[in-house]
Structure 1
Amino acid sequence: MERIRNKIARWHNSILSQGGKLVLLKHVLCSLSMYTFATWNLPKMVTRQMERDFSSFFWGHYEGHGKRVWASWPTIARQYKEGVLGIRRLHEVVGAFSIKLWWKLRL
């Protein structure tokens, strides 16, 4: 979580569009956590906190206060075919890796 928070802190100071933030969120922040999810079974509290950090990065801050949130995180974190941004929910990723590990151990 510390690595993710450090990256977010560095990017908060730069001026990024919502599209740029979305690309960084989907391809950098989510992929940093994939290795951890594949090797550890994290508690839900940790994944919720990570999603809160992702949400605050995506929506941004202005003078120390959060900007207006136009849609809730569960709403925008759906697949493209449902008509939203396509960000993966972390608890679903953790569940998928748990099933994959169970399947490998079963064989």
Structure 2
Amino acid sequence: MAMHLLSVLNIPKAVRHKINYMLSSFFWGASEGHCKRKWSSWDHLCKPTREGGLSLRNSLKVQRAFHMKFAWLLLSGYSLWINFFRAKYVKKGHVVLASNNSSRF
């Protein structure tokens, strides 16, 4: 799955857990019916290499980071897209009061 999809889609938590499960199964060599021994936790493998991990990406944390980046741009950015988004979805000048009537956002 391309990481940029996590920035624009709100993927359900169960799907993100399934993605992490498939990635960890690939890494640990699990196959149908039986699992191999897990020598390290998935959270440990997602740590940076200088901390002893393998710098793998956890889809839960990546999507949260993309959403926070978008929120920061919404609060502080001044691009055409941000201005459009503010005009269409943000009511009374505050992000928390944004309407949720759209099926896309």
Which structure has the higher relative contact order (CA within 8 Å, separation 6+)? Answer: 1
Q: Is the 8 A contact 2:46 2:54 kept in 1?
A: yes
CA distance in 2, matches of 1:72, 1:103: 32
Matched, 1:55 2:6: no
Matched, 1:45 2:14: yes
Matched, 1:102 2:71: yes
Matched, 1:86 2:65: no
Gaps of 5+ in 2: 78-105
**Sequence identity (%):** 38
Alignment RMSD, CA only? 1.8
CA distance in 1, matches of 2:30, 2:15: 22
Q: Is the 8 A contact 1:47 1:91 kept in 2?
A: yes
Instruction: Flag the structure with higher helix content.
Output: 1
* Number of equivalent positions: 76
Q: Report the TM-score when normalising by structure 1.
A: 0.61
Q: Report the TM-score when normalising by structure 2.
A: 0.62
Deviation at 1:78, TM superposition (A): 0.8
CA distance in 2, matches of 1:71, 1:55: 10
Counterpart of 1:70 (choices 9, 17, 39) is: 39
Residue 78 of structure 1 aligns with an amino acid whose one-letter code is K
Residue 10 of structure 2 aligns with an amino acid whose one-letter code is N
Residue 56 of structure 2 aligns with an amino acid whose one-letter code is I
Q: Secondary structure at the match of 1:84?
A: coil
CA distance in 1, matches of 2:32, 2:61: 34
Gaps of 5+ in 1: 1-31
Q: Secondary structure at the match of 1:104?
A: helix
Deviation at 1:105, TM superposition (A): 2.1
User: Which protein is bigger by CA-based radius of gyration?
Assistant: 2
The list of structure 1 runs, each at least 4 consecutive aligned residues, that deviate by more than 6 angstroms after superposition, is none
